[in-house]
Chain A
Amino acid sequence: MAVEALRLDGVTRRFGAVTALHGASLVVAPGEFVTLLGPSGCGKTTLLNLVAGFQTPDEGEIFLGGESVTRVPVWKRDIGMVFQSYALFPHMNVAENVAYGLRARGMPKVEAMGRVAEALRMVRLSGLEDRRPRQLSGGQQQRAALARALVIRPRILLLDEPFSALDRALRGGLQVEVREIQRAAGVATLFVTHDQHEALAMSDRIAVMSGGRIHQVGTPEEVYARPADRFVAGFVGDATVLRGRLRGLMGGTAGIEVGQAVLEADAAPLRGLSQGAPVDAFLRPETLSPGGPALLSGEVRSVVFQGGHVDVHLACAEAAGGRAVARLAPMLASGLAAGSVLELAGPSRCAAFPAEEPA
């Protein structure tokens, strides 16, 4: 395999008393699309700025294509960056904007224009070369910014919440499109979002962050089905949290008693706990189904039709926060109304972590 496109080794960045990033390590393979996902202020932009070179780390090393760039200035790093506001140059037309990076590298005009035309074809903006950025729609501006970043054939493409300025309807289409363009260009990509749906939909792998730390790096399936800790389990996807007891550990699997039921869970997060210790089981809404044996029951608060499925919210005394949510097929939820009592059977397997405070 070729060398990794990007490698961060224990990168720390402080702003005075605030540590925006604690010893972050991450590898992005060539052509891979990796997303930084986390709540506001968790250090996503800081990490991206460190890779771009707008900031230098207080500790740790950054490598692009195997070469240390920790002390290399932004303009020598060969990165492609798409900003939240796109940052298209308003006094240049689309072609001049896209040609900017090539001209800065001293490429002759004729050759540059050939590359520009090719890049504009790739993002389907051919024919709009002479437009000024303000004469483009939001989605077109986004694609122009993408073409400008890709035309220089960067070692890594950096995208900081590129969809946040667009309305919902436009986002879905552009997510698919950006991913197709990225795949066609074969460029390693680091993408920042705080939207878990966006992260799950687009990424090869997701790095889940909070408080300046990377909690877990994994494929969307891994992060969703096998969260490494409580934070990831709570942040990615919805979950109903039930208090249970550790029954025992067997190899990689733990047995959890919740009420009368016994559930299986990944043992890794529970190692070191003694038998009978309190644990919290995280249940995904689509793993709950009406019927018995009942794992939990509650009064229906609201039934939210989502098109392909229905989210049923229950008031449930045994769940953390007194709330539970189940995702049912519309057929199964047809008879439900607020006020009725619903019994739900659980999955055989879930994610479980040591209880936050003793029961």
Chain B
Amino acid sequence: MAGEKSTALGQGAPGLLRGLALPAWLCGLAFAAALLAVFQYALRAHVPGELEPGGFTLQNFVAQAHPLYIGVFWDTLLLCAGTAILSLLAGYPLAWAILRTRSRLARSMILAIVITPLFLGEIVRTYGWIVVLGNSGFLNAALAWLGLGRAEMLFTTGGVLAALVHVTLPIVVIMLAAGLAHIEPELERAAQSLGATPARGFFTVTLPLSLPGILAAGTTAFAWTFSAFATPQLVGGGKVNMISNLVYQLGFASFNFPFAAALAVSGLALTAVSLAALSLVTRRVEQRL
């Protein structure tokens, strides 16, 4: 089947497709080679004081069984899940408002506020959060003014979580809005005409129909956060670490490239397993719809 299809396509637009196929293959090869390089580093021994690794070993993976590393993996998973859930909770009403507001002005304002962070770049946004969360930052100044004292926010898990949610929110809102746009507004009206309060209509009609969009956005937020680096690095300040920060420390502070590579491979595997589990759930849900 697949073979027939590709020949049919090849006959349809032979010149153009063949012309594009070569650069596509080259790009793919380059990506695969980079990944392979990481893999082969992960399977070689670290020679202290040398940049060039030694012979084949599985030691880099065995060593990860240490509670220290398992702890970072676990924290990373929790931060990813937390970020996904919080940005879904914050993003759902925003996506809803964008779709259902009658006022054009309100729609444009929400879109602007939600989407702008996407164009700011991670570093700028993260410094923004340092200014907001710092000991003499905006939030603490506000707390002090209210006479509530100061709170430790910078370099805490909560602070990192807030910054990660901010980074993820635009994508979540865009994906949720795309999913919610498929739900006919008449369905909510039908539920109300049948005697359901708006709340009941939401939980029995709107929410179930939003599930595919919620799962897609949540999955993306989860995977997106897994690769976060600058945010936990700067807002976490070494006290809150994710896998990427550990990889950075081992690779560029200790120059233990093989172990850094092995951690990266494990992180990739963990992402893949999590995504597979989520997509299984998504498929179940979509079958029921």
Binding site for B on A (CB under 8 A): 52, 54, 73-76, 78-81, 83-85, 87-91, 100-101, 104-105, 148-149, 152, 158
Q: Within 8 Å CB of A74, what residues of B?
A: 189, 192-193
Does the CB pair B193–A91 fall under 8 Å? Answer: no
Q: Within 8 Å CB of A104, what residues of B?
A: 191, 194-196, 200
Contact of B195 among A54, A84, A152 (CB under 8 A): A152
With A73-B192, A87-B189 already in contact, 14 other A-B pairs whose C-beta atoms are closer than 8 Å: A54-B189, A75-B193, A78-B195, A80-B193, A81-B189, A81-B193, A83-B186, A83-B190, A87-B190, A91-B205, A91-B209, A101-B196, A105-B195, A158-B193
Does the CB pair A148–B288 fall under 8 Å? Answer: no
Does the CB pair A87–B195 fall under 8 Å? Answer: no
Binding site for A on B (CB under 8 A): 184, 186-187, 189-198, 200, 204-205, 208-209, 288-289
- Say whether, besides A83-B186, A104-B200, A89 and B193 are in contact (CB < 8 Å): no
Q: Is the interface of B mostly helix, strand, loop or mixed?
A: helix
With both chains docked as a complex, state the minimum distance between the C-beta of A60 and any C-beta of chain B, in angstroms: 21
**B187, B195, B205, B288 pick with most chain A CB within 10 angstroms:** B195
With both chains docked as a complex, state the minimum distance between the C-beta of B29 and any C-beta of chain A, in angstroms: 44
Q: Within 8 Å CB of A84, what residues of B?
A: 186
CA–CA, A234 and B187, complex, Å = 37
When C-beta atoms are compared, the residue in chain A nearest to B285 turns out to be: A91
With both chains docked as a complex, state the minimum distance between the C-beta of A109 and any C-beta of chain B, in angstroms: 14
A-B CB contact pairs (8 Å), 26 listed = A74-B189, A75-B192, A75-B193, A75-B195, A75-B198, A80-B193, A83-B189, A84-B186, A85-B186, A87-B184, A89-B190, A89-B191, A91-B205, A91-B209, A91-B289, A100-B191, A100-B194, A100-B196, A104-B194, A104-B195, A104-B200, A105-B195, A148-B194, A149-B193, A152-B194, A152-B195
Q: Within 8 Å CB of B289, what residues of A?
A: 90-91
Q: Within 8 Å CB of B208, what residues of A?
A: 91
With both chains docked as a complex, state the minimum distance between the C-beta of B200 and any C-beta of chain A, in angstroms: 6
With both chains docked as a complex, state the minimum distance between the C-beta of A6 and any C-beta of chain B, in angstroms: 15
CA–CA, A101 and B193, complex, Å = 8
